[in-house]
């Protein structure tokens, strides 16, 4: 379980990372329009693949942070004992 501040930090870092992905994409596109030798073309292609993977990972982390943000320490502390009891009973009751 994480706190609100940690979740906010993770979300900020991933939002910043995704914004930088746009910058990297633009730079790779510029390089791709140049006359490059075979080695340089391979490197640009490799970096484009790395960039796609980075974007996927950052997006997945952002989704996980959102999910974890629904159950932070602060939210758990704000939940009443009655609500905890109901949640426990609902989880432990076998369904037919």
Cα diameter, the chain: 69
- The percent of residues in the chain predicted with pLDDT above 70, rounded, is 98
pTM beyond cutoff 0.85? no
Which residue is associated with the tokens 């006359």?
A: 35
Residue 27: give the domain boundaries.
Answer: 4-92
Residue 2 φ/ψ, nearest 5 degrees: -115, 165
The closest alpha carbon to 7, from 80, 75, 81, 95, belongs to 75
| Total of domains in the chain | 1
Task: Report the C-alpha gap between 50 and 45 in whole angstroms.
Answer: 9
pLDDT in tens, 9-27: 999 999 999 999 999 999 9
The three state secondary structure string of 31-64 is HHCCCCCHHHHHHHHHHHHHHHHHHHHHHHHHHH
């Amino acid at each position: 379980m994480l706190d609100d501040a940690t979740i906010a930090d993770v979300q900020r870092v991933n939002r910043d990372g995704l914004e930088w992905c746009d910058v990297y994409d633009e730079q790779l596109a510029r390089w791709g329009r140049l006359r490059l030798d075979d080695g340089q073309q391979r490197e640009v292609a490799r970096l484009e693949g790395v960039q796609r993977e980075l974007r996927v990972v950052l997006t997945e982390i952002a989704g996980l942070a959102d999910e974890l943000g629904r159950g932070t320490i602060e939210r758990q502390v704000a939940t009443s004992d009655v609500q905890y009891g109901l949640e426990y009973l609902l989880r432990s009751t076998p369904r037919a």
